[in-house]
Chain A
């Protein structure tokens, strides 16, 4: 029973922590983000499992986390406001070739991050970007300048 409570607490605690990190890890993974993922994961697993390393305990913990994930996914679909809280909102970083510097600063992003996403779309220079949008999943979408 303790493991289940720990898993529930750990899940929501991690969702909140990852959500308030400046740059959402997962989409543009640098070694800097890898440190976070491994360290946070390692710390939370110790508290969740405690001294009980039995298979029963690990199955219960995994199933609890899976159920929490299903619940949060359902709530996100059912209540769009809840989805906003969990996933955030897309933010335009570049609009019609104009940088939103204040938004980028607050999101912990710089031009290098946008350019990295632009290169994936075969955009060679910054002036080739018409729109750059930070998506809910942490990826940056690029819309090319047609001219």
Chain B
């Protein structure tokens, strides 16, 4: 046998059952594991129930609605989003949102960065960077009574989204983004 190979004499080190079969069983550990399994399955069941209710997004609890005090906007959104999962944010405009024959909407840049806005329906006639956000303008008649942002969140964590019709009350929404 080559000298550089480490060797060890066989020992009867594996625990035997009935002193005849070396099984190496650890029943005490197995029973502890079953207790852990039991707790884990309860936790996993709770996880699925919470998910079905929308506590991790895409469900009853996640859906939210907010309205500015002056009634210029009513926003339907999901207060809990999921990273990379498509979602919709709908803004319904009130009568007082129409100014000079057009509608303008200012959205903070978190709409693009954290919330990953992909598409706006209907398309704005103009959009321009304005401070830390974007100003969308619809001038062509008839003005939309609602617009919809299609989003796909690009960051995990929480995002503050500010929406405002210039000259009217603003709305600040906190949106959690789950991995």
A binds B: yes
In the complex, number of A-B residue pairs with CB atoms less than 8 Å apart:
38
Question: Interface residue count for A (Cβ, 8 Å)?
Answer: 18
**Contact assessment for B25 and A91 in the assembled complex, using a CB-CB cutoff below 8 Å:** yes
A78: Cβ under 8 A from any B Cβ:
no
In the bound assembly, the distance between CA atoms of A51 and B23 in angstroms comes to 47
Q: What's the minimum C-beta distance from B179 to chain A, rounded to whole angstroms?
A: 8
Across the two chains, which residue of chain B brings its CB closest to A96? B18
Q: Considering the complex, which residues of chain A in the window 86-113 have a beta carbon less than 8 Å from any beta carbon of chain B?
A: 88-92, 95-96, 103, 106
Selecting from B30-38, B66-74, B140-148, B164-172, the interface stretch reads B30-38
User: Once the chains bind, are A88 and B25 in contact (CB under 8 Å)?
Assistant: no
Contact with B along A28-58 (1 / 0, CB 8 A): 0000000000000000000000110000000
User: Do the beta carbons of B21 and A143 come within 8 Å of each other?
Assistant: yes
- B27 interface residue (CB < 8 Å to A): yes
Residue of B23, B27, B37, B40 most packed against chain A (CB within 10 A): B23
Tell yes or no: A20 within 8 A of B by CB: yes
CB distance from B4 to the nearest CB of A (A): 21
Bound: A50/B37 CA distance, A: 30
Given A95-B17, A95-B18, A131-B17, also A89-B25 (CB < 8 A) = yes
Which B residue sits closest to A20, measured CB to CB?
Answer: B37
Do most interface residues of chain A lie in helix, strand or loop, or is the interface mixed? mixed
Q: Contacts A91-B25, A92-B25 given; indicate if A20 touches B18 (C-beta within 8 A).
A: no
- For residue A63, CB closer than 8 A to chain B, the reply is no
Contact call B25/A90, Cβ cutoff below 8 A: yes
Q: Are B84 and A91 in contact (CB under 8 A)?
A: no
Chain B residues positioned under 8 Å from A96 (CB to CB): 18
Least Cβ distance of B47 to chain A in Å?
A: 12
Chain A residues with CB below 8 A from B24, complex form:
89-90
In the complex the two chains form, is B41's CB within 8 Å of A20's CB? yes
Residues on A with beta carbons closer than 8 Å to the beta carbon of B29: 84, 89
9 A-B pairs with the lowest CB-CB distances in the bound complex, closest first: A89-B26, A20-B37, A90-B25, A90-B23, A92-B17, A131-B21, A89-B30, A84-B29, A89-B29
What would 6 A/B residue contacts be, using CB atoms closer than 8 Å?
A20-B37, A20-B40, A20-B41, A91-B30, A95-B17, A133-B23
Give 6 A-B pairs besides A50-B84, A89-B29, A96-B18 with Cβ atoms closer than 8 angstroms. A91-B27, A92-B23, A106-B34, A131-B17, A131-B21, A143-B21
Q: Which residues of A contact B (CB under 8 A)?
A: 16, 20, 50-51, 84-85, 88-92, 95-96, 103, 106, 131, 133, 143
Using a CB–CB distance below 8 Å, which chain B residues touch chain A? 17-18, 21, 23-27, 29-30, 33-34, 37, 40-41, 84
